Amino acid sequence: MFAFLVKRILSGFLTIMLVSMIVYALFWYGPKSPALQLCVQETNGRCGPTSPRLADYEERLGYNNPVYEEYGKWVKGLVIDRTIMLGKTPYECPAPCLGLSFRDKTLVSEQLKDKFPVTVSLAVGAASLYLLIGVTVGALAARRRGTLADKLLVSSTLVFSSIPYYLVALLSFLLLTLNTSIFPDVAYTPLLDNPAKWASGLLLVWLVMGIFGATSYTRYSRGAMVESLSEDYVRTAKAKGLSARTVVVKHALRSALVPVVTIFGLDFAFLLSGTVFTEQIFDLEGIGKWGLDATYIQDLPVVQATSLVLAVAVVVANIVVDIIYSFLDPRVRLS
């Protein structure tokens, strides 16, 4: 178990390193001049691509040094405080330093602290809802396999999950909050400030993400349940005279959950990408909307941080899923 954990975390770490290098290189080599946007903003537009001012800004931001040196400084900034020169003024950037937003010179890491809880609230609420709905409905459908209700459920989930997510989210926002105000107050309130308001404000979003996500989980868990209900050990359990409840929940469901958990891990990327749409449509100030707004005004440090944080979240989620795996399926030996 321990060896597996170390190996898994090391490979996850390697992935994060690679991703951060790709993102860093992208923002180093991608733009014509990475400092141009900042320079234009600072000098009220008196900064052309060839002006000496721009060269000045590039020098101060370190773009004249070799890329590996600056990447090294950037990585070092994650653990040790550093100073960043934006224009003529030096800015303190305490660790973990992700740079300063070009727009308002605030610390990217500070902003991240405000935005992260919003996205996490959305993701966690939605994920628990769709796992709960999906697995329950899927297991029930598998027990009643072949009935009319089962067939209807399978074909309707197939159609519903084919519709792009953002269309569902957009239409439910327009119909349920704008037109009819069934859910009037979609807003984020920090959980610790007011738990009731936190839940009621995000309820619609959770429902939309949850029900949409549940459609595919219903199909996966139904398929897995159908398979595991026909296994020998389920028959053995029945023959031993265990109650139907124990057989279904303890024997069949537990092994049926394994493929569902795998897909959940892979889906985490979708969940996070989905929050970009969700936050944009429902106007919630999470990481997705923050990154999107930053792309409109080319606030490169913020976009860079967003890409990195989302990628890291996906890698971490995958490691967690691998660990959950070992608890669910006694056959999985981690070595």
Partner 1 sequence: MTLPAGDLEVHGETVARPPEAERKAIAGRSPTRIALDRLRKDPIAVVCFLIVVLFAAIAVFGGLIQDLLGVSTETVRATDVIHPVTRLPLEGPPTGTFDPDHPFGVAPGNGTDNLAVWIEGCRTSLYLATVAAVLSTIIGVTLGLIAGFMGGIVDSIISFATDLFLTFPFLVMALAISPILNDRFGDDTDKLRFASFYSLVAILVVFGWMGVARLVRGEVLSLREREFVKAARVIGVPTHRILIREMLPNLIAPIVISFSLGLPAFVAAEAGLSFLGIGVFGRESWGQTINAATTWWEDYPLYLLEPVLGIAILVVALNLLGDALRDAFDPKTRR
Which residues contact partner 1 (rule: CB under 8 A)? Answer: 15, 18-19, 23, 26-27, 30-32, 36-37, 158-159, 162-164, 166-167, 170-171, 174, 178-179, 266, 269-270, 272-273, 276-277, 280, 291-292, 294-296, 298, 300, 303-304, 306-307, 310-311, 314-315, 318
Identity of the residue, 36 or 260, whose beta carbon is nearer to partner 1 in the bound complex: 36
Cis? peptide before 96, omega within 30° of 0: yes
Could you give the CA distance from residue 125 to residue 186 in angstroms, rounded to a whole number? 14
Identity of the residue, 166 or 238, whose beta carbon is nearer to partner 1 in the bound complex: 166
Could you give the CA distance from residue 131 to residue 138 in angstroms, rounded to a whole number? 10
Identity of the residue, 50 or 179, whose beta carbon is nearer to partner 1 in the bound complex: 179
Q: Which amino acid is at 317?
A: A
Q: Phi and psi of 90, rounded to 5°?
A: -80, 140
Write out the two tokens for 335. 């070595």
Identity of the residue, 224 or 248, whose beta carbon is nearer to partner 1 in the bound complex: 224
Q: Phi and psi of 86, rounded to 5°?
A: -105, 110
Instruction: Identify the CA nearest to 300 among candidates 20, 15, 30.
Output: 30
Identity of the residue, 201 or 274, whose beta carbon is nearer to partner 1 in the bound complex: 274
Cβ neighbours of residue 283 under 8 Å, at least 6 residues apart?
186, 289
Find out whether 303 and 295 touch, Cβ atoms under 8 Å.
Answer: yes
Q: Phi and psi of 84, rounded to 5°?
A: -115, 135
CB of 39 to partner 1, least distance (A): 12
In our burial notation (b when 16+ CB lie closer than 10 A, e otherwise), range 268-301 reads bbebbebbbbbbbbbebbbbbbbbebbeeebbbb
CB of 9 to partner 1, least distance (A): 14
CB of 57 to partner 1, least distance (A): 15
CB of 144 to partner 1, least distance (A): 19
Identity of the residue, 198 or 267, whose beta carbon is nearer to partner 1 in the bound complex: 267
CB of 114 to partner 1, least distance (A): 19
CB of 31 to partner 1, least distance (A): 4
